[in-house]
Structure 1
Amino acid sequence: MSTPDSCEGTCLCGAVKIHATNVKPHVGACHCGMCRKWSGGPLLAVECGSQLTFEGKENITAFSSSAWAERGFCKHCGTHIFYHLKDTEDYIIPAGFFDKPTSFTFDHQIFIDKKPDYYTFANETENMTEAEVFAKYIPAE
């Protein structure tokens, strides 16, 4: 599978557009309580690093959801736009935000120990628990 050169997408109302040039074609599911509350289910997203541009940035509202991350959404239509890691400046974008996600592969899940029993994905994926995620990605304070 080849990595897309770039991906573009807009929010529901078109007030915000993203052009990303470093999209990793791997979709992951986050089952943490915050992502489930934010999206109404697991967050299916792709890592985009920091190589992206926003058009309509004035239409984005960000909520600092933890000491290490913030979540952005369109202040007009409510579309979820990003999960942003403050220390690294990396952005994680919901996979459905992009207009043509044809080269994406669903291959990993995080906070798998927080996933409720009422849904299961059929894909074989790499799975990480909450403790494994914090040990790998979150700086110790």
Structure 2
Amino acid sequence: MLYRQQAGGPCLCRRAPADDRGRGAGDGESPAAGGRDVIDGRCLCGAVTVRLTHAPAELSACHCDMCRRWSGSVQMGLAMPVDAVQIAGSVKSYRSSSFSERAWCEVCGSALWLRNVEGPDVGTIELCPGLFDNAVGARLVREVYADRCPDGYRLAGDHPRISRADYERDHPFVEDAR
């Protein structure tokens, strides 16, 4: 449901009103059993939900051709251990390379994650930050294929910018097809 902005009021477009605990409906942080905080997220239509046992600290960005084609821009990823993530809903996936797969909501097409199925990062999943309100406080810690960043946008900050040559030298399992 869409909500219209009242004159002079805050923008409420595409945001459900807060529930009686002050949280936005369907997103954000919610207390879990035992006093632990969990982070809840969802795709655009809500058919896929994601729950994290803790907030991710790191956000990475990739400008390789494959990531840009999949995301439509720079691909951002919140790295989490696979065992810290619970996913429910209608998910489709595609083995985009010899070492990784990408997933999206079967209903609305929202990008969900990139997961390495081979190589040194098998136990890690990179979730799309748009699934969560405000990227749950993670900070940008690296930008890969930075030399392939299209003209017209640059990511601000004092994070490492890794070139294609340097990344592929350090990750020999990555195909040159990117």
TM-score in terms of structure 2 length: 0.68
Q: Which residue does the alignment assign to 1:30?
A: 62
SS at match of 2:137: coil
Count of matched residue positions in the alignment of Structure 1 and Structure 2: 136
Tell me if the contact between 1:7 and 1:99 (Cα under 8 Å) persists in the aligned partners. Answer: no
Label 1:22 to 1:85 Cα distance change in 2 as closer, same or farther (>3 A): farther
Give, in angstroms, the shift of residue 33 of structure 1: 0.7
Q: Which residue does the alignment assign to 1:113?
A: 147
**Is 82-91 or 71-80 further displaced after alignment?**
82-91
Tell me if the contact between 1:7 and 1:100 (Cα under 8 Å) persists in the aligned partners. Answer: no
Tell me the C-alpha RMSD between the 2 structures: 2.2
- Structure 1's unaligned 5+ residue stretches are none
2:78 matched to 1:46?
yes
Q: Residues 65-112 of structure 1: CA distance to partner in whole angstroms, max 9, x if unpaired? A: 100001000011000001010021421011111135342112310111
TM-score in terms of structure 1 length: 0.84
Q: Which residue does the alignment assign to 1:11?
A: 43
Q: Residues 12-37 of structure 1: CA distance to partner in whole angstroms, max 9, x if unpaired? A: 11111111225531211110111111
Q: Which residue does the alignment assign to 2:98?
A: 67
Label 1:44 to 1:74 Cα distance change in 2 as closer, same or farther (>3 A): same
Q: Residues 36-62 of structure 1: CA distance to partner in whole angstroms, max 9, x if unpaired? A: 111111012210121211111xx1000
Q: 2:53 aligns with which of 10, 14, 21?
A: 21
2:158 matched to 1:131?
no
- CA distance in 2: counterparts of 1:19 and 1:75, whole angstroms: 18
Structure with the bigger percentage of strand = 1
Label 1:140 to 1:72 Cα distance change in 2 as closer, same or farther (>3 A): closer
Structure ranking higher on relative contact order (CA contacts 8 Å, 6+ apart)? 1
Tell me if the contact between 2:68 and 2:74 (Cα under 8 Å) persists in the aligned partners. Answer: yes
SS at match of 1:124: coil
Rg (Cα) greater in structure: 2
- Structure 2's unaligned 5+ residue stretches are 1-36
> Sequence identity of aligned pairs in percent?
27
